[in-house]
Amino acid sequence: MINAASLPIPGQFVRVSRGRDAGQYAIIVRLADDKFVFLADGDKRKFDSPKKKNILHLRLFDQVSPEVHNSIMETGRVTNGKLRYALTKFLNEHLSEIEKGDEINGERRCY
């Protein structure tokens, strides 16, 4: 059972841990039910076509973007530019230099 303190909220940052998008970072834009959320990053996944993901396949961060959260609560929408800006700001502030520079199979991975 999931307790109320660990429930995701719109505007919260996540890292996908399973599936095709594993390793990617995104923002929760909508809750589907107790088990699923919709994710977008403003680039590959736009707000108009978010990815439905099981909560168990995500790593939830404690940080929530106030700009994204407020926009979704007020208008029910958020611009893709705002999603990209918030995600870039989060990645620049909260990821260590080692994690940013990880190489996978000799290729540099961009987040």
Q: Which residues contact 20 (CB under 8 A, 6 or more apart)?
A: none
d(C-alpha 15, C-alpha 41), whole Å: 11
Cα Rg, the chain, nearest whole Å? 14
Domain presence at residue 56: yes
**Backbone φ, ψ for residue 30 (5° rounding):** -160, 150
Q: pLDDT confidence of 100, banded at 50, 70, 90?
A: low
For 12: left if phi > 0, alpha if psi spans -120 to 50, otherwise beta; the answer is: beta
Residue-number span of the structural domain to which 76 is assigned:
8-96
CATH number at residue 79: 2.30.30.30
Q: Which pTM was predicted?
A: 0.81
Number of H helices, E strands in the chain: 3, 7
Domain presence at residue 87: yes
Domain presence at residue 74: yes
Domain presence at residue 104: no
Section 45-68 average pLDDT: 95
pLDDT at 53 over 60: yes
pLDDT for residue 70: 95
pLDDT at 17 over 80: yes
Domain presence at residue 109: no
Structurally, how many domains does the chain consist of? 1
d(C-alpha 15, C-alpha 83), whole Å: 15
**Per-chain mean pLDDT for the chain:** 85
Domain presence at residue 12: yes
With CA atoms as reference, report the closest residue to 81 among 29, 43, 27, 110. Answer: 43
